[in-house]
């Protein structure tokens, strides 16, 4: 019996060791979709202020024409939107650490963050850690660590497939395609927009599942208030916008408690929650992914919202009386 237990434990340890090695020792996929997060961080480090920085998930990656916003508003752009499965915590903390006086931070996060704590998902967060060289592991919270550990077997399996593909002559990196959509780093432009889907026909989009009411995560709202305040402390302006999505998906994911919670911490939506919804015909291949037509609609609306906001601020400054200067005796 003792020998059986020893052999069983040894087999388990060996299996776990192999899984961990496959997850952490295989070089990252440099054409993988999440690899582009490194390029987005490089933009934050190199694009001079003032900048408009978009922070959110794939609704921004797939839904924005940053060059059009940059040309219209005459301000440099950085689109940090990538994947809702990363969670807003990691992205917003990375942005906050790189802010400068005069930056405008536009946050448009997927609604799941409000209920799940913004900590990411096991399917995505460990893959991002691998893509970025595991550099952020030291600052993950307990729930993020849980997601990373839970996702290690999936990451190991994906890396095993990559090794097999490389052994068969296909290389370690995901190949691109010009005829069908693939989630690859090569699909992004120089400002952080996913643009390869603009010229492709819409994929199949399944109807979103009906929304199951859940409570807003109170810890997340406290963290969000603190994080947004830290952005303002660095001299940046913060604008909260609803995420870009087709109308049907909005109806299945939004809850009025979201806007109420943002009001309660002093960072309300700068527009109606419906402001950035697009017709269902503009859906591309997922709930928060829109086609080129949807990109044009959402981009035009964001330009108008930011331009109107700037006009209101200018009017308020002009309407503010100048302080009276008193002559010294």
DSSP type of residue 144: H
Q: What is the pTM of this model?
A: 0.91
Q: In angstroms, rounded to a whole number, what is the distance separating the alpha carbons of residues 107 and 271? A: 12
What domains sit in the chain, N to C, each tagged with a CATH number?
A: 24-304 (3.40.50)
Closest to 243 measured CA to CA, from 265, 267, 269, 208? 269
DSSP type of residue 176: P
Q: How confident is the model at residue 324 (pLDDT cuts 50, 70, 90)?
A: very low
Q: In angstroms, rounded to a whole number, what is the distance separating the alpha carbons of residues 173 and 312? A: 48
pLDDT in tens, 203-254: 777 777 776 667 899 999 999 999 999 999 999 999 999 999 999 999 889 9
- Pair 24, 155: CB distance under 8 Å: no
Distances (CA, A) of 253 to 24, 71, 101, 111, 112: 34, 33, 35, 7, 8
pLDDT in tens, 3-40: 767 677 777 777 778 877 778 888 999 999 999 999 99
Q: In angstroms, rounded to a whole number, what is the distance separating the alpha carbons of residues 28 and 126? A: 12
DSSP 188-219: B-TTS-B-GGGGSPP---PPPPPP------HH
- End-to-end Cα distance, the chain: 100
DSSP 57-112: SHHHHHH--HHHHHHHHTSEEEE----GGG-HHHHHHHHHTT--TT-EEEEE--TH
Q: In angstroms, rounded to a whole number, what is the distance separating the alpha carbons of residues 100 and 49? A: 6
141, two tokens: 């919270």
What pLDDT does 318 receive?
53
């Amino acid at each position: 019996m003792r020998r059986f237990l020893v052999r069983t434990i040894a087999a388990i340890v060996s299996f776990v060791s192999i899984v961990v090695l496959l997850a952490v020792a295989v070089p990252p996929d440099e054409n993988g979709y999440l690899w582009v997060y490194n390029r987005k961080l490089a933009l934050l480090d190199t694009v001079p202020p003032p900048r408009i920085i978009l922070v959110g998930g794939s609704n921004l990656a797939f839904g924005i024409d940053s060059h059009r916003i940059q040309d219209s508003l005459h301000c440099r752009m950085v689109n940090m939107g990538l994947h809702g499965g990363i969670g807003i915590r990691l992205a917003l903390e990375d942005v906050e650490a790189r802010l400068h006086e005069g930056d405008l931070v536009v946050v448009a996060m997927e609604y799941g963050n409000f209920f799940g704590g913004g900590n990411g998902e096991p399917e995505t967060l460990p893959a991002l850690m691998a893509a970025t060289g595991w550099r952020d592991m030291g600052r993950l919270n307990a729930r993020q660590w849980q997601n990373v550990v839970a996702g290690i077997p999936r990451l190991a399996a994906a890396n095993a497939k990559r090794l097999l593909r490389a052994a068969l002559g296909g290389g370690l990196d995901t190949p691109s395609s010009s005829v069908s959509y693939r989630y690859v780093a090569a699909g992004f432009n120089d400002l952080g927009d996913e643009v390869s889907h603009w010229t492709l026909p819409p994929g199949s989009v399944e109807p979103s599942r009906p929304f199951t009411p859940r409570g807003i995560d109170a810890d997340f709202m406290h963290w969000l208030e603190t994080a947004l305040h830290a952005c303002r402390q660095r001299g940046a302006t913060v604008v909260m916008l609803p995420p870009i999505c087709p109308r049907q998906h909005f109806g299945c994911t939004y809850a009025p408690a979201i806007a109420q919670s943002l009001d309660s911490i002093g960072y309300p939506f700068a527009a109606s929650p419906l402001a950035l919804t697009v017709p269902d015909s503009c859906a591309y291949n997922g709930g928060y992914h829109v086609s080129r037509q949807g990109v044009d609609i959402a981009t035009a609306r964001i330009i108008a919202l930011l331009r109107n906001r700037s006009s209101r601020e200018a009017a308020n400054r002009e309407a503010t009386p100048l302080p009276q200067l008193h002559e010294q005796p």
